[in-house]
């Protein structure tokens, strides 16, 4: 008996030399190291920061002595996910009350993905703010579920000019990973899915670009 193949939804932005990057970060440099016309085969030379594009942060990105990606088992980067639709929140801060109705579902998943709607500004100046972020209490509330990670469709889980990085620190204190610059989360509202955010296997990795996808059940 043939079973229907699961839907695989790409949640990743393209990496290019003209893509948005966090303010102060050098954009990617992508050049033709070899070409079919000149060499008989094609290869690209890539130069990019580890937190470029759709990427994953390890706790060791911020916290001294905390876990890095290469020290984590591969199963840390996949599991049941849940989209928390906060796109209707009109305040700059997402409070506990804005996500409280997801409490029962959060107990059954490994990844919470915040749909702020900010991915629609990818490539525009508006992408850098003022996007909504979790309040300190909401970040702590989510961190207490024992999740593997939290993802967001904005350039950071903290405000772009934050130096305290409260949300990062709160989640990392619970050994969670953070996924930033996700795309296409609106297609997953109300659906059950497996979320994958597998990083490159880089030694001592504080972060890595990823190909984030959702496998819809």
Domains in the chain, please, with CATH?
7-14+49-216 (3.50.30.50)
What's the confidence (pLDDT) of residue 4?
66
Predicted model pTM: 0.95
Q: How far apart are the first and last CA of the chain?
A: 18
- Respond yes or no on whether the N-terminal peptide bond of residue 107 is cis (omega within 30° of 0): no
Between 129 and 81, where is the model more confident?
Answer: 81
The token pair at 181 is 């610059």
81 vs 127: CA distance, rounded Å:
24
Q: In DSSP terms, which residues pair with 46 in a beta bridge?
A: 30
pLDDT per residue over 95-135, tens digit each?
999 999 999 999 999 999 999 999 999 999 999 989 999 99
Using the predicted structure, report yes or no on whether residue 184 has a pLDDT greater than 60: yes
Residue with structure tokens 């508006």? Answer: 126
pLDDT at 14: 97
Task: Supply the pLDDT for residue 1.
Answer: 57
């Amino acid at each position: 008996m043939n079973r229907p193949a699961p839907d695989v939804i790409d949640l990743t932005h393209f990496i290019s030399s003209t893509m948005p990057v966090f303010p102060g970060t050098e954009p990617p440099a992508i050049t033709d190291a070899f070409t079919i016309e000149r060499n008989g085969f094609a290869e690209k030379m890539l130069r990019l920061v580890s937190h470029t594009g759709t990427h994953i942060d390890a706790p060791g990105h911020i916290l001294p002595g905390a876990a890095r990606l290469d020290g984590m088992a591969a199963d840390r980067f996949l599991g049941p996910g849940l989209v928390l639709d906060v796109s209707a929140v009109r305040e700059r801060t997402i409070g506990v009350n804005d996500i409280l109705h997801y409490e029962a579902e959060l107990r059954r998943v490994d990844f919470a993905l915040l749909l702020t709607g900010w991915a629609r500004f990818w490539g525009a100046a508006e992408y850098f703010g003022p996007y909504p972020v979790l309040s300190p209490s909401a970040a702590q509330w989510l961190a207490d579920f024992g999740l593997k990670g939290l993802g967001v469709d904005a350039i950071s889980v903290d405000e772009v000019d934050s130096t305290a990085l409260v949300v990062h620190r709160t989640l990392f204190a619970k050994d969670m990973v953070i996924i930033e610059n996700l795309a296409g989360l609106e297609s997953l509202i109300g659906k059950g899915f497996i979320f994958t955010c597998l990083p490159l296997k880089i030694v001592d990795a504080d972060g890595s670009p990823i190909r984030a996808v959702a496998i819809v059940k």
